[in-house]
Amino acid sequence: MPVDMMRGVFRDFLVPGLLLFGLGVLNIMALMAVLRRKKSAWRLAGLALGGLAIWFLVEITILQAVHWLHAMWGRPVLVGGIVAFPRILLASK
């Protein structure tokens, strides 16, 4: 993928790559917390899902295009958010 696709927002893929790496670490932390049934698990999951949703929105804005892969990767994020949201509310009570 050429850097030109990012329309000058980033010089190269370093910053987006670091952001994606951070999102990956956050998702792994959320998964481990959910599996270990930690009290903060669903908040971490919500934060991770929210981060991914923001990533998709910013990516679509920068690229000025929607690709079928956005739907493929975005659908699980939306479903996860729908599942996590009530649990986040219950955990905060």
Q: How many domains does the chain have?
A: 1
Prediction pTM value = 0.81
Show the tokens assigned to 84.
């996590």
Biggest CA-to-CA distance, the chain? 48
Boundaries of domain holding 61: 3-91
Query: 35: which residues sit within 8 A by CB, 6+ positions away?
Result: none
Better-predicted residue by pLDDT, 93 or 34 = 34
pLDDT band at residue 32, thresholds of 50, 70 and 90?
A: very high
pLDDT band at residue 93, thresholds of 50, 70 and 90?
A: low
Buried b (16+ CB within 10 A) or exposed e, 2-26: eeeebeeeeeeeeebeeeeeebeeb
Show the tokens assigned to 90.
């219950």
